[in-house]
Amino acid sequence: MKAARFRRFGGPEVLEIVDLPDPRPGPGQVRIAVRAAGINASDWKKRQGLMDPELPQTLGYEAAGVVDLLGEGVVDVAVGERVFGFCDDGTAQAESAVLAHYAPVPPSLDFAGAAALPAAVETATRALDQLGVRGGTLLVNGASGNVGSAAVQLAVARGARVIGTASPANHEYLRSLGAEPVAYGEGLAERVRALAPGGVDLALDVAGSGVLAELIGLAGGPEHVVTVADFAGAREHGVRFSRGDTGRAVHALAGIGALVESGRFSLPVARTFPLADIAQAHRVGEAGGVRGKLVLLVG
């Protein structure tokens, strides 16, 4: 199978498409013919050598496609069905991938739209679960990005009032998701208190923009704040840092389809690229300014 890989750390030019053996699913897993695979910031961090030291490395943890082989004990899906989910060994950006956690592709979505879901939905759900969001007022710092917009919509679906920070250009987008927007930057706490004079019940930091102290003040203590983006700040301020290697919210995959089909959840695909153009996809992602998901199309 064709797969994305790099043999040395560096810029997008180190990425290559190589031939690798077809994977085989283990017990409880399924193999898919990949039709689309999501791209995440962790991909270029890995490529730059900021995460894993091993070489060579493959890429991709989320994909959507058609089941073509079942692992032992799999009875909840059949060969030929459309599924999306997580590829735990990080080889989703390839023609074939083994999914350890998966769910049916929502009927209204194409493969690119489904491949955009897993990482953002799992990260947002995990953080909301850790915060215990079941209502009340939630402040989301960095609400217009993929994880932030997922968190906004999922929190609204849980009955929360959501205040979200974003640049003014994204305020109308946040309103369309059900959030009350505020501009980030100096004076953030005052702008939030103009909407919620007593502060907020909980706060989620997705942007990692150095505002944990302000979020703690607004939420009434570090125990009411979770960050998915500011590891150093979390240690400094006693805030929980949410990370997937301590337990992922994979249950989110099974539940997101109903929200998508009811019109209460969407995650836009900003651009798609053929697998062969993965280097260009990295350039676009690293340049920033993209609202929505970047997705590789395969097959």
- DSSP E strand stretches across the chain: 2-6, 15-19, 30-38, 57-58, 62-70, 82-86, 96-99, 101-104, 137-141, 161-166, 180-183, 202-205, 225-227, 240-241, 269-274, 293-297
Query: Do 2-116+268-297 and 123-245 come out as alike in CATH topology?
Result: no
Is the pLDDT at 289 greater than 90, yes or no? no
Tens digit of each residue's pLDDT (9 = 90 or more) over 244-260 = 777 889 999 999 999 99
pLDDT at residue 60, as a whole number: 97
Residue spans of the domains in the chain: they are 2-116+268-297, 123-245
**Peptide bond just before 21 cis, omega within 30 deg:** no
Contact 166, 262 (CB under 8 A): no
Percentage with pLDDT > 90 across the chain: 95
Per-residue pLDDT band for 290 (boundaries 50, 70, 90) equals confident
Q: Which residue has the higher pLDDT, 238 or 245?
A: 238
| Per-chain mean pLDDT for the chain | 96
Tens digit of each residue's pLDDT (9 = 90 or more) over 15-24 = 999 999 999 9
Between 118-131 and 251-261, two packed helices, what is the crossing angle to 10 degrees?
110
Round to whole Å and give the CA distance between 35 and 84: 10
Tens digit of each residue's pLDDT (9 = 90 or more) over 101-133 = 999 999 999 999 999 999 999 999 999 999 999
Tens digit of each residue's pLDDT (9 = 90 or more) over 64-107 = 999 999 999 999 999 999 999 999 999 999 999 999 999 999 99
50 SS3 class: coil
Q: Name the CATH superfamily housing domain 123-245.
A: NAD(P)-binding Rossmann-like Domain (3.40.50.720)
Q: Any idea which fold 2-116+268-297 has?
A: Quinone Oxidoreductase; Chain A, domain 1 (3.90.180)
